[in-house]
Amino acid sequence: MAEIFTNIPVIPYEGAKSKNPLAFKFYNPDQIVLGKPMSEHLPFAMAWWHNLCAGGTDMFGRDTADKSFGQEKGTMAHAKAKVDAGFEFMQKLGIRYFCFHDVDLVPEAEDIKETNRRLDEITDYILEKMEGTDIKCLWGTANMFSNPRFMNGAGSTNSADVYCFAAAQIKKALELTVKLGGRGYVFWGGREGYETLLNTDMKFEQENIARLMKMAVAYGRSIGFTGDFYIEPKPKEPMKHQYDFDAATAIGFLRQYGLDKDFKMNIEANHATLAGHTFRHDLRVSAINGMLGSIDANQGDYLLGWDTDEFPFDVYEATMCMYEVLKAGGLTGGFNFDAKNRRPSYTVEDMFEAYILGMDTFALGLLKAAALIEDGRLDENIKVRYSSYSSGIGAKIVSGEATLEELAAYAENMGAPELPGSGRQERLEAIVNQLLFG
């Protein structure tokens, strides 16, 4: 197989002092952190769509980057060239996972039977490429938002025929995920929402989404899919309101419809911030509910109110993310770079340097989060802060044995309670800075 990225070597780890743009400064896969190699803490994945398909088109202009890989776009030869490019890319960076939508892999035909035949052919080829490498599929999904038939959603569509088409795509994408050994299967409800309540039966739409997910779980389990299903929450864009608004909303939905045993969350940084949360907030909400599954690692822009899908460079945010992940005991999924180069970064070097940036950012985040945990002062503060619940009336409250009358009698005999103690926020923020930059 002819090399595609001929000017790019295998990316080495050269350490923090290196000035080589094509080297890792912090991601050192074999370095042990909290008893485990970095590469195990950080199962990174390449997103097929941004890396191999998208060329920088935006609402105001066409592609700037050439992703033809020497073949005519829209052909199976091009689909195969993308596989070659993707595998060379992952191998040069030491990335061990990839994520895909059905239509990222092959050009969609008019007839789904032909699309499925193409998908069989390309996944045979992907399997061949996987052989002899340690590259695996992190998760698969069906694109149920780009084609005009999904203008009103897939599970939430008003058209039963479109609903069936979505079912057919999910069935195939699940089969492909199983064929490629995927760890997870994602539902991102890109158009599962509404533009106006004036034409929307919200209850019916949500029930129909749940019915589709239940059918997906039943079918997935019947063909041997043992991994997790994921909901990837996002509050808006493309729809004005999306039902999987944030982790809390999605978890409530899963519980309401009895789907919580089969599903976890795939939390994307820029989706959490669009919902008015921090990234770490949605990670924490998922984790405390036992549903932190996987992460779409990217970041937004403070000045822009949409999903900019930037490669993560904010070490503070990455540290907070890794703190949540370490505290949760790691991910069953991985870190998928659902991120794209900025439009003026259109060269092959830019593709590689973007991933180096993202991987180094999360490696730093891991190192700094481990330092925060080993330091122990944050944990100690939490322990002290809630210590009034470890004995006396507090312990009785926690045991669930207290009654409202008893607590009221206790309060009436107490006089005025003491103030609850300083939150020490500034001290804690200073500790984080000390460990990040000290």
Which active-site residues does the annotation give? Answer: 101, 104
**232 sits near ligand XUL (criterion: CB under 6 A):** yes
**What character string, x for contact with ligand XUL (CB under 6 A) and - otherwise, covers 185-224?**
-x-x------------------------------------
CA distance 289 to 304: 31
State how far the alpha carbon of 254 is from the alpha carbons of 75, 144, 210, 249, in Å: 39, 20, 8, 9
The DSSP code for 264 is: E
116, 141, 169, 273: which one contacts ligand XUL (CB under 6 A)? Answer: 141
307 binds, among Co ion, ligand XUL, none (CB under 5 to 8 A by kind): ligand XUL
Q: How many residues bind ligand XUL (CB under 6 A)?
A: 10
For Co ion, which is the closer residue by CB, 38 or 105?
Answer: 105
Site string for ligand XUL, 260-279 (x = CB under 6 A): --------x-----------
Distance of alpha carbon 39 from alpha carbon 43, whole angstroms? 6
| CB of 300 closer than 8 Å to CB of 310 | yes
Across 266-298, b (16+ Cβ under 10 Å) vs e yields: bbbbbbbbbbebebbbbbbbbbebebbbbbbbb
Task: Go through the chain and tell me how many residues it has.
Answer: 438
Site string for Co ion, 217-246 (x = CB under 5 A): ------------------------------
Q: Alpha-carbon distance 134 to 117, whole Å? A: 26
* 165 binding ligand XUL? (CB under 6 A): no
Q: Name the burial class of residue 46, with classes exposed (0-12), middle (13-18) and buried (19+) by CB atoms within 10 angstroms of its CB.
A: buried
Minimum CB–partner distance for residue 30 and ligand XUL (Å): 30
CB 280, min distance to ligand XUL, A: 18
- Do the beta carbons of residue 85 and residue 4 sit within 8 Å? yes
User: Per CB under 6 A, does 129 bind ligand XUL?
Assistant: no
- Non-local CB neighbours of 232 within 8 Å, separated by 6+ positions: 186, 187, 188, 189, 244, 265, 266, 267, 268, 271, 296
Q: Could you tell me the smallest distance in angstroms from the CB atom of residue 39 to ligand XUL? A: 23
In the set 244, 296, 324, 360, which binds ligand XUL (CB under 6 A)?
296
Residue from 78, 57, 54 nearest 4 by CA = 78
- Which of Co ion, ligand XUL, none sits in contact with 141, Cβ below 5 to 8 A by type? ligand XUL
Residue 338 or 353: the one with the smaller Cβ distance to Co ion is 338
Our finding on whether 338 is near Co ion (CB under 5 A) is: yes
Choose between 102 and 205: whose C-beta lies nearer to ligand XUL.
Answer: 102
CA distances from 247 to 48, 123, 358, 360 (A): 25, 32, 23, 27
Residue selected from 175, 268, 353, 360 as contacting Co ion according to rule CB under 5 A:
268
The first and second tokens of residue 165, run together, are: 């088409």
Q: In terms of CB distance, is 26 or 49 closer to ligand XUL? A: 49
**Which is nearest to 217 in space by CA: 182, 246, 184, 242?**
184
State the residues that interact with ligand XUL by CB under 6 A.
Answer: 101, 141, 186, 188, 232, 234, 268, 296, 307, 338
Task: Report the interface residues with Co ion, using CB under 5 A.
Answer: 268, 296, 338
